[in-house]
Amino acid sequence: MLLPAAAETSPSFDLRPLLTRWAARYMPDDFLRKQLVEVTIATAVDDPDLLNGNSVEKALFFMLHKAALKKLGLSPPETKGRSMSHANLFTCEVWG
């Protein structure tokens, strides 16, 4: 499990270290990685329903992946056959 158990987390639990590790796979530049992490967190805060489902980690990864593709100027994969929450992740607007 990537995220700590609820009993191990404090109200100040920070997702940034986890998201930064994932972002490093997409962005070689530290500044761009930090932007990607902040966009991912903002997306989760703006639409917390995207985190509903079986795996919060998977939802966060999809958010980060979508933001990275947008920043890199690439198109996200087709959403046909995915649950509505995952389809919404690929249509959300990020990076202004």
Which residue intervals of the chain are DSSP H helices?
Answer: 16-23, 30-46, 56-71, 84-89
Identify the residue with better confidence: 13 or 11. Answer: 13
Q: pLDDT tens digits for 60-85? A: 999 999 999 998 888 766 655 554 44
DSSP classification of residue 29: S
Hey, what are 18's tokens?
């986890």
Alpha-carbon span 65 to 22, nearest angstrom:
9
pTM assigned to the model: 0.67
